[in-house]
């Protein structure tokens, strides 16, 4: 049973131009630092079809990861790293956050589900993350009964 409480909220607003400049300077090194392996595959496909779509993909993922880091209260400090957070689309298209490595373990002991929403325009992207608290032990027992 959900109590409707929130453990954390994070948001980020970003100019696409900022990501364009960083990508122009660092190219694939920047992509590998920011994106996880599955995100890199999506980025390569989008970049090949239309370079501006590739940049917007980088920008939305960057913003979502910033918003996530704010929502969990870590910023970009261990165990939070860019590539340990992936924002991938479910089959229906809705984005979801997938964690890996030490960040996944750290997160699992502190928080419940993470919800992410992203939007992009030609010059700006935004992301919003809401973190649920861990379900209470009593809630877990109620749902089993």
- C-alpha dihedral, 16 to 19 to 21 to 27, nearest 10°: -140
DSSP code, position 35: S
Is there a contact between 68 and 82 (Cβ–Cβ < 8 Å)? no
What is the rounded CA–CA span in Å between residue 31 and residue 92? Answer: 25
Task: Find out whether 12 is annotated in a ligand binding site.
Answer: yes
Task: Find out whether 132 is annotated in a ligand binding site.
Answer: no
Q: Which residue ranges make up the annotated binding site?
A: 12, 66
Q: Which residue ranges make up the annotated binding site for Mg(2+)?
A: 12, 66
């Amino acid at each position: 049973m959900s109590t409707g409480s929130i453990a954390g909220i994070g948001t980020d607003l970003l100019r696409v131009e900022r990501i364009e400049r960083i990508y122009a300077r660092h190219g694939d090194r920047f992509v590998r630092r920011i994106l996880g392996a599955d995100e890199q595959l999506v980025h390569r496909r989008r970049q090949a079809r239309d370079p501006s779509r590739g940049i917007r993909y980088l920008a939305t993922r960057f913003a979502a990861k910033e918003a996530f880091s704010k929502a969990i209260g870590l910023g970009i400090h261990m165990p939070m790293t860019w590539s340990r957070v992936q924002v991938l689309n479910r089959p229906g298209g809705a984005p979801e956050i997938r964690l890996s490595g030490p960040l996944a373990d750290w997160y699992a002991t502190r928080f419940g589900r993470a919800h992410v929403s992203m939007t992009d325009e030609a010059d700006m992207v935004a992301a919003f993350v809401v973190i649920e608290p861990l379900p209470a032990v009593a809630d877990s027992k109620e749902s089993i009964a």
